Amino acid sequence: MGKQRTLREKVSFRGQGLHTGQQVEMTVHPSGPDTGISFCRADLDPAFKVRVAVENVRQDEMRQTALVVGTGMVRTIEHLMATFHGLGIDNAVVEVMGDELPGMDGSAIEYVRTFQQIGLTEQAAERRIFEIKEPVYVDQGEQSIMILPSPGLSVSYTLSYKDQDLSDQYLTLSILPEIFERELAPARTFCLKKEAEYLLSQGFGKGANVQNTLVFERNLPLENKLRFENEACRHKIMDLLGDLFLAGFVRGHVIAVRSGHALNLELVRKIVMQQKPNSAPLPEAFGVQEIQKILPHRYPFLFVDRISHFVPGVSATGYKLVTMNDYFFQGHFPDHPVLPGVIMIEAMAQVGGVIMLGKPENRGKIAYFMSIDSAKFRAPVVPGDELRMEVQVIRNRARTGQCVGRAYVGEKLVCEAEVKFAVVDK
């Protein structure tokens, strides 16, 4: 497995954010064993550090991966995260003056060369590697991503924009530090000319130009030259490695077809759910009678039938079987019954309540809503569907808790939201 590694000394970078266009400064510090990768916003609260984890990621329309850090965010972390992953850097603290990392030349090569120049140091602790034991996949029709058991880490990527401005590309690589440096780190971010025009019209890409971004038209970059014939595909693999490192070092073979950040993160969430049963034994699933011992809700406002994968204060999966006998179908589109979106949010919140109130110190208390954020409804839910709600705590304090929930029917994501609770005495 090898030993964990960090930087020999701190190093700073300056540059313009690709999306915000703001000048930002970033300093990467060495960090102790088993501390992982953490980010802090030095311009807001340098004492507040967030360890990278998928539950702390906020997706937005900017086509990048952003981390929630205190009262702010740090956007476009994927190139730096890919560098940590590709070079085998386990522990570091990233201090940022601004809300986006510097875009450099649109690739990770400057990060790689600078880290190698200052050097890496081996630490006493053993590296933790999660070995994929069974396939994990996300399938959205023409887009898919999976990871299969494999003795090492490798990635196979198929890029297909189905557009005359960018031809289909395919590449498969084993991921080792020397391969990452040579084959992936120099690959620059890219888009189609029509995409660039749209992003600019929406106020994004303010720091992008034809030097730090490959803007494709008729299968060639405007005012630039390719470093690789399939540079776009290589950059997609680099982005994927950055997103995958949210789950830490993983051993498996990733096969991706037309995937981007959103699909990558769904795979990471499923990998993390696989990891947790191995870190601590889970209690057995329980049904509605036990749920009623934790939650104050009763018919007709109890929307969770059973719970599985229950870790108090951490995570749980809840289930609700949607039937035509549910009372709300009498008035909610009675000729075309669809589960109300607010019911899905409430059901996920009730699973979050079970997680929070299932902790011994919170038994007998009540969880009140404080806020609902980032609610999105992806597909209708109808009678006969079973709603599966995967909920994780992203912030847990003495009197408050914040959860992120995703509801599925089968493997189809139908709803997602973040909810915040106040935990109070009755």
Catalytic residue ranges? 261, 332
Closest by CA to 226, choosing from 239, 236, 213, is 213
Question: Measured between alpha carbons, how far is 318 from 330 in angstroms, rounded to an integer?
Answer: 25
- Determine which helix (DSSP H) or strand (DSSP E) holds 5, and give its type and residue range: strand 3-7
Pair of tokens at residue 273: 């759910």
Residues 309, 315 contacting (CB under 8 angstroms) = yes
Pair of tokens at residue 239: 């982005």
Question: Measured between alpha carbons, how far is 364 from 190 in angstroms, rounded to an integer?
Answer: 54
Residues 27, 43 contacting (CB under 8 angstroms) = no
Q: CB-based contacts of 247: which residues, under 8 Å, 6+ apart?
A: 54, 130, 268, 271, 272, 275
> Can you tell me whether residue 307 is helix, strand or coil?
strand
Rg (CA), the chain: 23
Closest by CA to 96, choosing from 131, 125, 70, is 70
- What's the angle, vertex CA 131, arms to CA 390 and CA 55, rounded to 5? 30
Strands (DSSP E) contained in 31-105 are 37-41, 50-51, 57-58, 66-69, 72-74, 92-97
Strand order in the sheet with 190-192: 190-192, 214-217, 220-221
Alpha-helical segments (H) within 88-192: 109-118, 177-179
Q: Pairing relation of β-strands 315-321 and 306-311?
A: antiparallel
Residues 209, 223 contacting (CB under 8 angstroms) = no
Question: Measured between alpha carbons, how far is 156 from 171 in angstroms, rounded to an integer?
Answer: 6
Closest by CA to 208, choosing from 13, 15, 14, 43, is 15
Q: What is the DSSP string of 323-340?
A: -TTSGGGGTSSTTS----
Question: Measured between alpha carbons, how far is 284 from 408 in angstroms, rounded to an integer?
Answer: 21
